[in-house]
Structure 1
Amino acid sequence: MSNTPDPLSAVILAGGRATRMGGQDKGWVPLAGKPLIQHVLERLAPQVDELVINANRSLEQYSQLAPVVSDRLPDYPGPLAGMLAGLERAHHDWVLFVPCDTPFLPTDLAARLCQARTPGCDVVVAHDGHWLQPVVALVRRALAPDLALALAEGERKIDYWFARHHMVQADFSDCPHAFDNLNRPEDIAQHEAR
């Protein structure tokens, strides 16, 4: 059960090609003896009311952890396609998205994103003090038809699509490393060494 003002759905985005990881399914790359997806799941599950994994391969493995939804667009068109699949599958009005390669997410991520909402906003994006973290976002489920249209028109960039809507930022400058992406073998090796 989430500790947010209203019920939240969450989608872990694990549907990419993982080219920087040599093409292996990133969610199953081990870190400290556990797959990345497991780290993310353990951080996120207590914060939300519904959790889904967006994946396009290893579907049987992922479905052992949580319900799985795949992109309905072919050829791995990127995180926006995963977001659309998640928005269409979610049961709650707000959907939290995170990538499967961020194992250090804040344990109060959902609460802080919800807190940052302003009246009429459609998207809340995490900001680590230096950079916007566009794949860590709270998105209003009602945006699904608009996102489907944007994808049909060829849009593939998250920040361009967000810019079409009332977006606010949530300040996470106190914990910038919470959003470290482990998307290359050397990133995993570095964190294992620590």
Structure 2
Amino acid sequence: MMVEGDTELQGAAADDPYDAIVLAGGRGSRLGLVDKATLDVGDGPLLAGVLEAVAAARHVVVVGPPRDLPAHIHQVREEPVFGGPAAAVVTGLHALPTESGADGAAPWTIVLGCDLPLARQAVPLLLATRRGEGCVLADGEGHAQWVAGVYSTSALVAAAESLGDATDRPLRALLGRLSTRALAAPGRVGDDVDTWDQVSEWNDYFIDGEDADESSADDEPEERSANE
């Protein structure tokens, strides 16, 4: 569904730069407090696959505990620790450059959870469909995946300022302030990992060879307002 507006609805150029915020600081409560980012799903740890997916980003911020990551990746801890996903996004946003220019803030910011096994397919799809204030993927049940989205950086900054204290606030309280579209992603591109059963399902998925480029479907993904 198109969001009403005027020039805000212009599509982004294919080569418009973007920054990336990766959330990797959750408790893993449904996984027995195991660090979800380190779980091997498919061909390696979940976080490694997500970072590979955003390798072309101008700046990459990982929000979570310190890890052995490449030096160019900026690592920060959400404030307060375990303060919730909205607080983590705001912390990541504050870690990005604020000035514009060739090495400054990019016009777009991708926000991803560390638990997206098909991040390599999700990112190109998001970049190809970004316009307005942003787009998010919908999972297999049609739910907007706020941490599988691309957002106008200026709109994201404005939303964070409008929200104020993000501690213990849900993602929708922050990202729902933007006029975004939810894309019905092909296959399981928008699905994540939350439980051990899902870890097993995903590994079976990859073993069965079902990890083809599901974002290459001929038809454009169905769109609706993410705020519905």
Say yes or no: does 1:15 pair with 2:25.
Answer: yes
Q: Where has structure 1 moved over 6 Å in runs of 4 or more?
A: none
Cα separation, 2, equivalents of 1:179 and 1:12: 15
Q: Which runs of 5+ in 2 are unaligned?
A: 1-12, 97-104, 206-228
Cα separation, 1, equivalents of 2:39 and 2:73: 18
The residue that corresponds to 1:84 in the other structure is 90
The residue that corresponds to 2:216 in the other structure is none
Asked if the contact 2:49/2:119 (under 8 Å) is kept, the reply is no
Q: Aligned AA for 2:60?
A: L
Q: CA offset at residue 68 of structure 1?
A: 0.9
Q: Which protein has the larger Cα radius of gyration, Structure 1 or Structure 2?
A: 2
The residue that corresponds to 1:100 in the other structure is 114
TM-score normalised by length of structure 1: 0.79
Say yes or no: does 1:164 pair with 2:215.
Answer: no
Identity fraction in percent: 23
Which residue among 199, 202, 209 is the counterpart of 1:188? 199
Q: How many aligned residue pairs are there?
A: 183
Question: What do you get for the CA RMSD once the two structures are aligned?
Answer: 2.7
Cα separation, 1, equivalents of 2:122 and 2:177: 27
Cα separation, 2, equivalents of 1:38 and 1:124: 23
Q: Aligned AA for 1:25?
A: D
Cα separation, 1, equivalents of 2:123 and 2:184: 9
Asked if the contact 2:42/2:117 (under 8 Å) is kept, the reply is no
Residue deviations 1:126-151 (CA, integer Å, cap 9, x gap): 23472211111223333336425525
TM-score normalised by length of structure 2: 0.68
Q: CA offset at residue 41 of structure 1?
A: 1.6
Which residue among 137, 156, 165 is the counterpart of 2:149? 137
**Larger displacement relative to structure 2 (141-150 or 91-100):** 141-150
Q: CA offset at residue 44 of structure 1?
A: 2.5
Say yes or no: does 1:115 pair with 2:126.
Answer: no
Q: Aligned AA for 2:63?
A: N
Q: CA offset at residue 5 of structure 1?
A: 3.5
Which residue among 182, 189, 192 is the counterpart of 1:178? 189
Q: CA offset at residue 93 of structure 1?
A: 2.9
Task: Flag the 1:67–1:116 CA change in 2: closer, same or farther, 3 A.
Answer: closer
Q: Aligned AA for 1:158?
A: L
